[in-house]
Structure 1
């Protein structure tokens, strides 16, 4: 699998990353083990996680698998902090105390002494950005974190974070920002991606298949085993099940048919090669789904198809 650098740093990551949001919940430890092995055997390196994932069980699953197979040094382990569950509610907490406490817990659960990349999961408007960035700086200076990044920040928040982090004088700037980005979610191009370019950050794209819509599974309706049919996930998928976004999927299907590849391959290949995108984070409930996504690594889109898909998806809401 091809690798790319994050920002201007020396850190290289695979251009497809393995997302683990469902590990420990919808994806049990046995399926997770299959997915990790398949991902590593395919040349993947970037493993993205967070302490909130899998209802809090995800990182313990990852830690057990890394230890069982002795593959910690084969992965670029990317963690997060800043989203916590308190009194049955999920809240954002970007305070230095909370971030560093989450980091220590993540390291214990993952069974490692450091994270290769540590990201602030969400911007916390109630905490000064200087304090949040100080947590990243302290973590890097302590050796518990090698590189730092942000996640789900707006354009102005991205620039503010990079400037605040640079003022701390650690020498290595923020390297990445993680954002939802796909053919049916191009809003980041308005301000987040220009801000990332200004700040020298690479993009890590989450939900590159449009919350499952860009696999084409919803073209004939809502499958009973899909997220859109699950009351817990219906609201998550619904924003991408609109007539205008359905036309984007139809265009994808036409391109895929002409190329003789799955629809998802075309969607991932388009996103993967957008400016600043270092890696597309693919998650899967089954090993077969992951295998299909990884197959996109072999697809190179003709420039005419890239242009046509960009045109049909531009401004779609």
Structure 2
């Protein structure tokens, strides 16, 4: 496993990490959560991503149960969680980053995870209705109180990140150290173009998600949506248009041929490609089986096969559908 510094912070994260979105609390039970986390850890993974909203809090509960069973030394791994959507319908408890919500939400996560602190607390989406200074101050206080060690943002615009960073710098608050954006062969512009100045000016880290474009890049949707896949889950019907897009699936077929040339699976090719970007600190992978974890972890070995020539061929294949 390769380890990369998380932005300008002193902490290092494994280049491949394990996330719980759409798995823990839906497709994965406690025993399987323990098994997948154990196999990932044995492969060198030290970062496990979660969010308050995943499965309505059940994802955090499940990860907490798994961590208690695994009994790892606390300083040997990192856990993150994210806040914005909330778990309740109160006027100050949903779709917000106000101080009242954030200080309560972190306590809820710690209780569900069974931890005294988390390593990274994220603002899961920007909140245009709360003054950004209020949010930055609340995140600073969460760190000062020892409930999180670092904080970051997820899917914020470059302008919003700059505003938050400059407010933190002005008042001597803890600065955000990382962004969690979607990044894959089909979704590139935000990371590669919009954030260019953010990386240059603030040395932000990234914990990127959806390296397989919700499974599309794995090739499993070339012939439609198979039973038991993410696309077939209740509540994820919004993914159908993308997963069944003929032009994208044609591209996936071409990528699969290239992957076979270098002795990789389509998934491994797509994940390894994300790691070519020096601004990617870690690629968050997901899995509902031990076999998937093992396949994803092998992506680190594929990275050396992505020569400049292979990278150019990949670029040419996806050029017509990337955004």
TM-score, normalising length: structure 2: 0.91
Q: Residue 289 of structure 2 aligns with which residue?
A: 286
Q: Residue 82 of structure 1 aligns with which residue?
A: 84
Q: Residue 19 of structure 2 aligns with which residue?
A: 19
Instruction: After superposition, give the CA deviation of every residue in 1:88-120 in whole Å (9 maximum; x if it has no partner).
Output: 999421001101111011112212211111111
315 and 141 in structure 1: CA distance in 2 versus 1, 3 angstrom threshold:
farther
State which of 150, 153, 170 in structure 2 corresponds to 1:167. Answer: 170
Output the CA distance in 2 between the equivalents of 1:284 and 1:5: 24
Q: Residue 184 of structure 1 aligns with which residue?
A: 186
Deviation, structure 1 residue 20:
0.9
Deviation, structure 1 residue 193:
4.5
Query: Which range is displaced more, 63-72 or 256-265?
Result: 63-72
Query: Which range is displaced more, 219-228 or 148-157?
Result: 219-228
Deviation, structure 1 residue 30:
1.1
Output the CA distance in 2 between the equivalents of 1:56 and 1:128: 26
Q: Secondary structure at the match of 1:180?
A: coil
TM-score, normalising length: structure 1: 0.93
Q: Secondary structure at the match of 2:311?
A: helix
Output the CA distance in 2 between the equivalents of 1:65 and 1:307: 41
Q: Secondary structure at the match of 1:98?
A: helix
Question: Equivalences for 1:134-149 in 2 at 5 Å?
Answer: 134-149=137-152
Q: Residue 298 of structure 1 aligns with which residue?
A: 301
Output the CA distance in 2 between the equivalents of 1:314 and 1:165: 38
Question: Equivalences for 1:195-274 in 2 at 5 Å?
Answer: 195-274=198-277
Is residue 155–residue 196 contact of structure 1 (8 Å, CA) maintained in 2? no
Output the CA distance in 2 between the equivalents of 1:37 and 1:91: 34
Any gaps of 5 or more consecutive residues in structure 1?
A: none
Is residue 227–residue 237 contact of structure 1 (8 Å, CA) maintained in 2? no
Deviation, structure 1 residue 284:
1.4
Query: Which range is displaced more, 217-226 or 85-94?
Result: 85-94
Question: Equivalences for 1:78-157 in 2 at 5 Å?
Answer: 78-87=80-89, 91-157=94-160
Deviation, structure 1 residue 313:
2.4
241 and 203 in structure 1: CA distance in 2 versus 1, 3 angstrom threshold:
farther
255 and 110 in structure 1: CA distance in 2 versus 1, 3 angstrom threshold:
same
Output the CA distance in 2 between the equivalents of 1:303 and 1:78: 34
Q: Residue 314 of structure 2 aligns with which residue?
A: 309
Query: Which range is displaced more, 21-30 or 31-40?
Result: 21-30
| Greater share of strand | 1
Is residue 225–residue 244 contact of structure 2 (8 Å, CA) maintained in 1? no
Is residue 228–residue 238 contact of structure 1 (8 Å, CA) maintained in 2? no
156 and 249 in structure 1: CA distance in 2 versus 1, 3 angstrom threshold:
same
